[in-house]
Amino acid sequence: MVRVAAVQYAVGEDVGANLETALRMIDSAVAQGAEVVVLPEFGNHVSWYADREHAHRHAETLDGEFVAALAGRAEKHAIHLMANVTLAREDGRVAGSNLLFGPDGAILAVSDKQVLMGSERDHLDGAVDRAGVVETAIGRVGLYSCMDGVIFETPRTLAVEGAQLLLNSLNSFALDEASLHVPVRAAENKVWVVAANKVGPLVPEHSIEKVASQVGVPVDRLHGAGESQVVAPDGTVVAIGPRTGEAVVLADIDLSLADDKTRPDGTDVMAARRPQVYAPLAAEPRGRRAPAGAEEIRACALAPTARDDVPALVAAAIAGGADLVVLPELAAHPDGLAGAPADPALAPEALCRALAGTSTLVVSSALDADGAHVGVVVSAAGVELAQPQLHRSRRHGELTVAALPEPAIAVHEAPWGRLAVVVGDDALYPETFRLAALSDADVVAVPFTVAEPHDLDLLLLERAAENRLNLAVSARAGRLGGAALIPLSADFTLWGAWRNPFAGVISRPELLTAQGPLVVGTLRPACATNRFVSRGTDVVDGRPWQLLDALVR
């Protein structure tokens, strides 16, 4: 067992005072038994500058007093310490850099921030290369910071390379960091995450009124949101700090738990990845090209139990005027298992007949003639799209998966927008939904089986958030949940006009879960065209595409 600490505190413009605070909080964490300590992002100076020269003037150097003091404190206590500062790099850049110190005070790794957020782009430079996983005396460690974890690629790359423990420094006022973006990186990668956020003003007091009006965020919301936390490999938050005030958040963790990558059915979600399918993620962004879809559509996702008459539920959804109806994976087969006899009333041909005279689309999954598991989009005219499952699943035994379809995720042009299908366990892989976003999908239908506690409220909710995709998820009802709709909100881009007052959440869509055999609600295809979370920061095209070799290799 290793005792880890995520430490939260405020940082101002006085660099000397900031260093004193950091050293005091490290001492406090060690006094409580911490062996690994993580400090917040931009610990040397509040993260707001007049211009690039101002940022460069306050940037630290690896041989400077600030870094030396942190190294000395790590050595004094014989701990592993992660700190984040603005760092003057030898090539002239000023980066937001994570520094990992070993128990002897040596710098074990320097990792520059890969995805810059909004105004950071005005005075900092992004990473031009990356530090991989660090082999330490306690285990395999990866480093990232704040916006790097609001989209999946940076932590995912570290997990693919074998990290057991991810350390995340944050400088965030967004409440959705703690409720979604931090814990999902543990759950999707089955690793430990220790995340330290700031409290107090994130902008100098003399500028905060002006900045608040520019960004569109109330002054009282431009404070670090705290809630530093430690998250287990199953996505459970095992320790969390308050939203305000200094805190040392402690937990004793067993890093060996991060070596088990299996789902309840035995599928190893790292071994089942298909890197060659993900090649478009590492290609230079081309921007979204498709036009916007409809402002709204009516969607229905089924969550049937064994007692429900599924054909009757489908008929009711169609009669209710749904534009899109989604069924669970292998809906025609009892319990969604391919070996059971299929109900002919739920075969694609029967669904087609049930749609006569309507414009409704129904999405399910079935076995094709070759025994492959495919998602199908059915209209009154017939099967409009067949999407093969891309990843193997132990639950489906010997079902085949597609060789290499091109594109990997196809899109159906519906009258109201662009519809993609993610089939079954393909939904466990964040790369799959990124491919859908790169195909300019507006809505993704997900015939699925919920098998773990955070499949809906972390994994699939994040897939909508980080790709700006509306999701309609259908799964058989069980103790862990069933169907869900995840509509996008028009309120998304900081530095832009919002329809509703900012309440602290930037990128966390609403999760509408089924309370009975189905869930009906509104999806917003047009919102998928806006991918800018802040000025200049696109959550899809802003991915660190040049640094993703490990994901596609």
Tens place of pLDDT per residue across the chain (553 aa): 999 999 999 999 999 999 999 999 999 999 999 999 999 999 999 998 989 999 999 999 999 999 999 999 999 999 999 999 999 999 999 999 999 999 999 999 999 999 999 989 999 999 999 999 999 999 999 999 999 999 999 999 999 999 999 999 999 999 999 999 999 999 999 999 999 999 999 999 888 898 888 888 889 899 999 999 999 999 999 999 999 999 999 999 999 999 999 999 999 999 999 999 999 999 999 999 999 999 999 999 999 998 999 999 999 999 999 999 999 999 998 877 777 788 899 999 999 999 999 999 999 999 888 888 999 999 999 999 999 999 999 988 766 676 777 889 999 999 999 999 999 999 999 999 999 999 999 999 999 999 999 999 999 999 999 999 999 999 999 999 999 999 999 999 998 888 898 999 999 999 999 999 999 999 999 999 999 999 999 999 999 999 999 999 9
Residue that is last in its domain, among 259, 289, 312? 259
Amino acid making up residue 279 = A
Q: Are residues 141 and 6 in the same domain?
A: yes
Q: Is residue 118 part of a domain?
A: yes
Beta strands across the sheet bearing 237-240: 134-135, 140-145, 165-169, 192-196, 229-231, 237-240
Q: Are residues 359 and 424 in the same domain?
A: yes
Q: Is residue 430 part of a domain?
A: yes
Q: Is residue 289 part of a domain?
A: no
Question: How many CB atoms are located within 10 Å of the residue 513 CB?
Answer: 16
Q: Are residues 359 and 465 in the same domain?
A: yes
The DSSP bridge partners found for residue 521 are 299
Would you say 390 and 274 are in contact if contact means Cβ atoms under 8 Å apart?
yes
Q: Are residues 233 and 346 in the same domain?
A: no
Closest CA to 483 of 301, 264, 314: 301
CA distance 488 to 464: 8
The DSSP bridge partners found for residue 512 are 485
Would you say 365 and 373 are in contact if contact means Cβ atoms under 8 Å apart?
yes
Residue that is last in its domain, among 229, 259, 289? 259
Q: Are residues 393 and 467 in the same domain?
A: yes
Question: How many CB atoms are located within 10 Å of the residue 359 CB?
Answer: 12
Q: Are residues 245 and 379 in the same domain?
A: no
CA distance 300 to 482: 13
Domain around 8:
2-259
Q: Are residues 42 and 157 in the same domain?
A: yes
Q: Is residue 281 part of a domain?
A: no
CA distance 312 to 162: 47
CA distance 412 to 404: 19
Q: Are residues 112 and 216 in the same domain?
A: yes
The DSSP bridge partners found for residue 377 are 363, 385
Q: Are residues 339 and 205 in the same domain?
A: no
Q: Are residues 368 and 492 in the same domain?
A: yes
Residue that is last in its domain, among 231, 259, 287? 259
CA distance 85 to 45: 8
Q: Is residue 276 part of a domain?
A: no
Would you say 188 and 455 are in contact if contact means Cβ atoms under 8 Å apart?
no
Single pTM value for the model: 0.96
How many structural domains is the chain composed of?
Answer: 2
Instruction: Return the CATH number at 392.
Output: 3.60.110.10
β-pairing verdict for 537-538 and 532-534: antiparallel
Structure tokens at 153: 């690629």
Q: Is residue 382 part of a domain?
A: yes
Q: Are residues 249 and 116 in the same domain?
A: yes
Q: Is residue 405 part of a domain?
A: yes
Q: Are residues 492 and 385 in the same domain?
A: yes
Q: Is residue 54 part of a domain?
A: yes
